[in-house]
Amino acid sequence: MKKIETTNAPAAIGPYSQGFVVGNIAFFSGQIPVDPATGEMPEGIEAQAEQSCKNVMALLEAAGLTAENVVKTTCFLADIADFATFNAVYAKYFTSRPARSCVAVKDLPKGALCEIEAIAEVG
């Protein structure tokens, strides 16, 4: 088991890790749209979806992977009305179209509008 850590994605805000590689599978914690350089979140679902995707890409890069390695994502939205806008941004990053669940939830950490977690194949 190998822990994945990078300063190019937000640090964990609780008792968890950014990710782990176990065998040939990488598991990444959900990424809210916090800019790791500033600790701030942009306004609006489009900008927040963009930042969440960038954070996932930073974790993948830290593990030596790309979006092409992703086999499953789970996406959380604070408002299902944002689904179409979120999808438009998500589609730019996950062009291989991994399996996905996308659900609306009551609240997300720090008042975020979206969160993305990923599972990827290593190798």
Domain annotation for the chain: domains and CATH numbers? 2-121 (3.30.1330.40)
12 has a pLDDT exceeding 90? no
Q: Is 102 a catalytic residue?
A: yes
What order of strands is seen across the sheet that includes strand 19-22? 2-4, 19-22, 25-31, 114-121, 70-77, 99-104
Q: What is the CA radius of gyration of the chain?
A: 13
For the stretch 66-114, pLDDT in tens is 999 999 999 999 999 999 999 999 999 999 999 999 999 999 999 999 9
User: Which of the residues 53, 75, 102, 114 is marked catalytic?
Assistant: 102
